[in-house]
Structure 1
Amino acid sequence: MSYKFKFFAQPIVTNIKTFVEVAFIEFSIGVICAFFAYTYYDGFIQVFVGCLLIALVCLFLTIHNIYVVLKIRKEQKLRDVANNS
Structure 2
Amino acid sequence: MTYKFKYFAQPVITNIKTVVEAAFMEFSFGVICAVFAYVSYGEIIQLFVACTLIAIVCFFLTIHNIYVMFKIKKQQALKEDI
Same fold (TM over 0.5): yes
Aligned to 1:45: 45
Q: CA deviation at 1:20?
A: 0.6
Rg: which structure is higher?
1
Aligned to 1:24: 24
Aligned to 2:59: 59
After TM superposition, the score normalised by the length of structure 1 is 0.86
Aligned to 1:80: 80
Tell me how far apart the structure 1 counterparts of residues 12 and 45 of structure 2 sit (CA, whole Å).
32
Output one character per residue of 1:35-56: Cα deviation in whole Å (capped at 9) or x when no partner: 0000001111110010000000
How many matched pairs?
79
Structure 1 runs not aligned, ≥5 long: none
Runs of 4+ in 1 over 4 A off after TM superposition: none
Aligned to 2:14: 14
Q: Provide the alpha-carbon RMSD of the alignment.
A: 1.6
Structure 2 runs not aligned, ≥5 long: none
After TM superposition, the score normalised by the length of structure 2 is 0.89
Q: Percent identity?
A: 63
Aligned to 2:70: 70
